[in-house]
Structure 1
Amino acid sequence: MSGVIAAMRRTLLSCTFIVRDGLVGISASALLATSSASAADEPFITQTLANLLDLDRQEIAALTTATAVLGFSVVSAILLMHNRIRSAKTEAKLRAELHTLQVESDRFRALLFTEPQVLIAWAAGETRPDISGDTALMMSHDPQQHQPQRILAFGTWLPPEPALRMDHAVDALLDAGEGFLLNLTTSSGRAIEAMGRAIGGQAIVRIRELSGLRRELAEVSLRHKELAEEAEILRGFANAAPWPIWAKQADGRLSFVNAAYARATEATDTGDAVGRNLELLDSDDRSNLARALNDNQPFAARVPIVISGERRIFDVHAAKVASGSAGMAIDASEAAALSAALVRMAEAHRRTLDQLSSGVAVFDGQRRLAFYNDSYRRLWDLDRTFLDGNPDDSSVLDRLRAARKLPEQPDFRAWKAKLHEAYRAVEAHKDVWYLPDGRALSIVTTPNPEGGVTYLFDDVTESLELARRFDGLIRVQRETLDNLAEAVAVFGSNGRAQLFNPAFAKMWKLSDEALEQRPHIEMVETWCRPLFDDTPTWQAIRSAITGIDNRKSVPLKLERKDGSVLACMTMPLPDGATMLTFQDISDAENVERALRERNEALETADQMKVDFVHHVSYELRSPLTTIIGFAHLLSDPVTGPLMPKQAEYLDYITTSTGALLAIINNILDLATIDAGAMTLNLGPIDIRKTIAAAAEGIQDRLVRDRIALQIDVDPAIGSFTGDESRVVQVLYNLLANAVGFSPHDAAITLTARRSEHTITFTVTDRGPGIPPEVKDKVFDWFESHANGSRHRGAGLGLSLVRSFVELHGGKVRVDSAVGKGTTVSCDFPIDQTAHRNAAE
């Protein structure tokens, strides 16, 4: 049996039915494949064919008989022929059913597309859909209408947002079978309905145009959705807003408040504020608000509201809406404070501008005068009433032109139009006006951010004049420097040359081209070292130029290799620069050196003279003392009587030796004072006794020359501190000098006066006086002027007077007129202790 089954399987699998022109044939290979079956397989084969051919019992019996008679191979052929006939019948039947289905399909399609719509169907597992319907419904202006697939590019016929929604809905339908229903509007303004469903393993999208009641319903639904979304957004915004917002019904009760309103009224939440109808405004403000709303007028006011115990300022806005009203309160406390501060600042700004010397005028966006300061009014001498009337810019200019206070212009209209371009400018513009009265004004026109222009006027007449003078001074300075014999160079704080004159380049043998490159001082030093190579000096110059601290003048002397001597001075300038000056002092240095050598020679000679006089004086004093001693011995009666002639000669010897001893003592005193070895024996000096002692020393000369001595001393003049013997010596020499220059039968005067700090002795004679050309020499050693004197002295008296007076800390004055006499005054300090402390 297994062999038969296998043979039948092979036969059935290898059978090739060829349907052509209504004939059914079986291939010869199928008949040959069954020849191997045996009689034992007959019942099974017969039953199997009966099942395959759908035979009834009579047909099965006939088949069985035929199988027994004709054999299995012939029966098989017969069965196959019978199957061909049945297949033809079945095909005819199927064709009839297919025609019926096609008719029904056409009828259903006609019913389906009675209204404009498009069907898009995706079969299971397919990515390319089947599109049917009128695509022109959505793409009426598409030049590629013959390509239905373009309808899937939703962005070509839908606005961006609906196209995105359509894309997401179709993706959800294809991926998860989620249906959708969308009401959309095409780019051309058509209202459509897009519905997607998963049916029978297919995804179908139907797109149809809405019209009539259905369209109106869709539009109402869409509008309702939009309004609901808008209301939700507005409600959410109102709740999130930081300002109190409320809505009231027609009867004045609250219907909505936001969280800020609830907080402001100290309610637990918005529901609590609505339930208790908590009011935000006080009664007066509520009355004003209600009155405005009853008049169908919007309400806007800035009112104070107390929130959490703090008084704040709010801008309240309310309006009548439908059958109720709505309002909002915006916290304006900070704005009010800023506004007040701005007002104060503006007032302060105005007060500040009023204090400026510059004229300021501000014109607003309508070109009318909004502000001016007093300097502006005085500058143009305009009437305050005219300015307070807020004239426009053109009127002000016309009035100034009529008064000939503006610059003369050939085309005033064009000039004014150019000036008014500042109202459209974005940057400030500067100019200078030269007025007919000789003044020069600097004008700055600045556009204001809020519109308009600000004019700023400054009288620069003086500054321009100063600038001209400065330029002139600079030119004069340049010419002066260029023509100076003194070399001048200015180096900046960076050490580079900024200015030099030709004398500098010539003195150091530098080229003007090299110096014009602004070389550094180190480079200049390198160029100058061949003439002067002294490192410390150049270091001092560099430090003076580049130093920052302790800037001061530094004098230097440069002895160059060419034998010239330069005096250098570094002078710090106020701007941080340093000026170097070089002056050739070679000739002056040579002269100074010669004078110094001569002076040293003169001082040496003078010292030699002093030493010689000192030495000779000491050498003369000893023998002179011996001669005086022997003269006194001879004149003593003990030694025996002398003849008259001898007595006369001895008297001459005594007088001459006395005079010589006085001269020698004077010389010794002067030498001691000059050597700084003289000391005073200080003590109280009785002035009257001192004058008497000095007068007694010259009594014989007064008698001999018939000179009268007049002493003028206050009886209560008292005393002062000094060396009495030296004061007596001073007065003696003054009296002796006066006697020597007084004519016979004349008078000399000695006065003493006491002041707060000094004792003044004055000796006056009626002699010939002292010529002006020798007045300054009367106190020099050995200067004896015998003009009008009967005695030729050694010229030491007045020298001693000045030395002793100055040793006491006093002063000597000489007043003399030729032919009228001479007055010598000596001032002695009363307190020597104070004088010595001051000297120390």
Structure 2
Amino acid sequence: MSNFQNLDPFYLSLLGVALALPCLWAAHRISLFVSKPAGKSAHIDPPSAVLLYRNGFLIDANPAGLALLEDTETDPETWTTLVNRLAPRFPDFPTTQGSDKGRHIRIFSPANPDDPASASLEQWEDFARVRLTETSPRSIAKEHAAVDTTAQRAPYPIWISAETGEITWANEAYMTLARKIAPEGEATQRLFEDAFLPDETKRTKLRLREGEDELWFDISTRQSGTSMLHYATDANALVHAEIAQRNFVQTLTKTFAQLSIGLAIFDRNRQLTLFNPALIDLTNLPADFLSSRPSLLTFFDRLRETRMIPEPKNYNSWRQQIAELVIAASDDRYCETWSLPSGVTYKIHGRPHPDGAIALLFEDISAEVSLTRRFRSQLDLVQAVLDSLDEAVVVFSPVGAATFSNSAYRRYWKSEVESDLSDYSTSNALEAWKAHFEPSDIWDRLELHLDDINPRPDLVGVVRTEGGKAKCIRAVYLHGGNKAVVFSDLLDTHPNDENEGYSPTTAYPACEEEVAV
């Protein structure tokens, strides 16, 4: 004792901590395995037995776990002793500990259904924790009562059937539905006549009494021993939504059937979901092929095979074009014109649809293209005829913009009218004409004639260049407020060495008379 008195106080404190550590560790170890009750109860189940093993040898256990291994002939610290204790009640319990890098938990049920115990095995690396829980019959009855109450109060029908199909148990929702369906004063036990297989979900309907709606249910079946557990969930809202969607699609189909434009709608997975008869007529694709819901790429490949699409230069770029088509159609930017070797011309539009779908519209514009081509051909013919004339001709619109001129006018006035018609107007033309010809009062009258959009008699006059050469100028009113100005060459009536014996020829005698004056 005197030796301790001579020690420094600091070393004495260290010694006290060292002596207290075993006690603290024991208390901590017990707290790891024994769960504290959450509150006061009239009945407390015995504590679970918890044992900790490493590489098949016991390294720790709580009092209940140690009691489990008492009175054994073999070494109580080995895994074999534990297996000998648990195997009669839990035949599936592993005979060796094993090891695993991950962390896994297994639950074992007793061989006897009336045995209230349960065992669990938690393994990680070289460690294994075993927990054996004993539940009293009173607790089991309480749990069964809670489960039964929960099932009885479920809002949807739940029932149990035997191998023969006879119903052995049903909850209140099932019985309420049975009373609603059965005739007055009678009761029925079997609601659903269909046979249900384990792990199957099947949709079925119940026919209520006359004058009431049908009820739809999704029946899920699970096997429990020799019995079948059935769960019915209300599917009325889903069935009605599917019917509404189907009716809507049928309405759309009837509407689209009247269109002359071919319609093909592809869903978000790029599968053909809707098409109209016009698509069959325009593409010559068989109805059975379109009804098989081909993909977008298969659809265009088939068009390519039947030569209903411009032939691509190479197949790899063709695939890339289809991918770009999808992107453009999703952004409402896809619009192309297909001119086929058969002479048919299609206009294709790509439009986005809800939920990532896209719609392709096929429109036959062959008649429109043919009409445009004929119109252009007629314009080219008129242009060729006017270009063959010696008279210079220029046409102005009702707003005074030049819309047409022939080659004689462009040569004489060195004017490129067709290069930019919007920049050449009556004011530009009058300015050039006045600068080229001698002053005359006809220019003021011509300006009034061209500015008036109402019909007027033709204006005819003669103008002379500074060299004395005469020209006949005519302003003619055309249909729709357009006016044409025509310049014709004239010869002087006074004979000379060059024109002796020659009289002028002109389409307008007024010009000839004016020159003769």
Range of TM-score over shorter length: 0.3 to 0.5
The structure with the greater share of residues assigned to helix is 1
Q: TM-score, normalised by structure 1?
A: 0.28
**TM-score of the pair, normalised by structure 2:** 0.41
**Structure having the higher Rg:** 1
